[in-house]
Structure 1
């Protein structure tokens, strides 16, 4: 959803304002608006400026093109940097994670249009905001276990929060391990979004948001959004919530596999088949991180832990193997090391919980 800003036509991120609305527009459509370090820094600068500008009531972030809001970080670049210059790769992650925390703490309404593909780092740019809008075209996922990584960008915090007052809440665990791609209804069910607005109404909604008084607050933003919200039917994940809550309540991946294997439903069979394609290390690491995040008082605590784990991942094997087979030598089956859950021991996991070379937050 571009806005008039001709002098930034080629910018990776277009920054501007429409009325009282600060605008951040990701502008890398051929790469599905995947994030680079330069883009992260531009967004941080924009938030700094919008925060101290008393004429800005709220901020809206959107993505260019008809395919994605943001497909995540540029994993090919991270793959190449991680092998050649791990310190530089960590710089990207460090600044991205700090941006995630900045969004969470941003003092003005922060609105994200999570239209189309919203994955990985795209979830970090949106799901930490105060007003998270999905559409009938949203395709959201944290697919990292399929490339030898784990759900980061504060996702272990998001996926561990659950759904207050609804009993067992293992939807986040399911999404973290499986990398399942979900639609807007299930994004709301999982606590990763707040409302579904038809994609055809986003432009009109943005126009109305730009007319907010400069003194508007989150309730004013919610009132405007509320006029556009569509009711949604339960998505596939919500429809299988009872089985997910039962199978994913365990604290070991082996027990989760056993629970799924004991079920005779098609959902359980499909889920187990998916999990068996994921990196065994990533599965165990993701589960451990999500469980630990449940006790965190702050997003920053989870991000600090994720950063240490990411530093360990960049020094290992599976991430490079996962990216190679996903985007470089497409179609090949990844050869994970270790290749089985049994080989992923407590000792081998310990490296991911060692302090990172740098801290994120003081």
Structure 2
């Protein structure tokens, strides 16, 4: 077993195990964790004894609350090298998982946000439980749903992607199954036995999960889908705001109040990304585009301000720059999507020798 402080990577019978182990930080990813997971996956890729990969968390609640954005925000004034390295290697891990030749099982048992979505959505089997709390809340901190979020969200039914990306709405395990973000719903108390069975007989993974699965409770988001499709129908942020205001209903009013707290730049960039992402045939192109956006966004004022307001001072009163949607021009949004110079652009891991 190869163990670091924050992630445990080891082989358990026929399975490679990635166990996140930062309970006090809800297992948020840092650069050491990303690199340790990448090394393990590369080692197991050609190991005939490893036939499946299981991703879960050790003690404490939460599966993975995302990347360690507080550390990255602190680094920006010193030249932003930590953030650049982190996102570069995190996206390499995401791409490696997306293209990995062996099936993966992600146990989304708890908070699954941001970077946690990036390491669970590439897996063939995605297990939700009664403790699952799924969200892409990046617009609350001046970012956008990255780590492949453009691909995963844009493939959801109707206008769910626009709703989830803009508001950062939280989904429970039943919602995740209803939306296709998870494909099995298990009681958390069954997970240890299921993991042991999969490690011993990986060829039976699907039947093991199906046998342990239970019927989830009714998914709350299903009742909201007609309103989501109607009121988030536009790719123009101001039009969405206007449609919500015109509707005036209780649900629409709550969404307006939520969006008033989000970074206007982030919202407009997120909407454009959801238009652009489906045009990328290959995931490598998605990652290249997202990296270019991220490198610009995390060094812009809204990221440090959003992290301060939400996670450091916890005042909940971010002062966005620009402050209003009308001040965020199309040219400003388009600039985030320009390709980076070749020597700064993201690249996947070198092909296997």
TM superposition score category, shorter chain reference: over 0.9
In 1, Cα distance between the equivalents of 2:235 and 2:215?
35
1:87 aligns with 2:81: yes
The answer as to whether partners of 1:71 and 1:117 remain within 8 angstroms in 2 is yes
Give, in whole Å, the separation in 2 of the partners of 1:91 and 1:129. 24
Match of 1:59 among 53, 56, 74: 53
The gaps in structure 2 that reach 5 residues or longer are: 349-353
Q: Deviations for 1:146-177, whole angstroms, at most 9, x for unmatched residues?
A: 111111101111100124xxxxx111111111
2:173 to 173, 184, 192: 184
1:141 maps to: 135
Structure 1: gaps (5+ residues) = 164-168
CA distance in 2, matches of 1:291, 1:178: 17
Does 2:302 correspond to 1:318? yes
- Residue in 1 that maps onto 2:351: none
Quick one: which of 202, 212, 237 aligns to 2:201? 212
SS in 2 for 1:294: helix
For residue 127 of structure 2, give the secondary structure of its aligned residue in structure 1: strand
Q: Which moved more, 1:36-45 or 1:251-260?
A: 251-260
RMSD (Å) for aligned C-alpha atoms: 1.5
Determine the structure 2 residue equivalent to 1:121.
115
Q: Determine if contact 2:26/2:60 at 8 Å carries over to the other structure.
A: no
Distance 2:45 2:119 in 1: 17
The alignment status of 1:19 with 2:13, answered yes or no, reads yes
Deviations 1:51-81, CA, capped at 9 Å, x for gaps: 1110112010111223211100000111022
Q: Give the conservation status (yes or no) of the 8 Å contact 1:57–1:212.
A: no
After TM superposition, give the deviation of residue 352 of structure 1 in Å: 0.6
Aligned length: 346
More moved, 237-246 vs 292-301 = 292-301
> How do residues 1-362 of structure 1 correspond to structure 2 at under 5 angstroms?
8=3, 11-163=5-157, 169-212=158-201, 216=203, 220-357=204-341, 358-361=344-347
Name the TM-score, length of structure 2 as normaliser. Answer: 0.94
User: Could you say what secondary structure the match of 2:332 adopts?
Assistant: helix
**Distance (whole Å) between structure 2 residues aligned to residue 37 and residue 338 of structure 1:** 31
Contact 1:22–1:59, Cα closer than 8 Å, also in 2: yes
Query: What is the TM-score when the length of structure 1 is the normalising length?
Result: 0.92
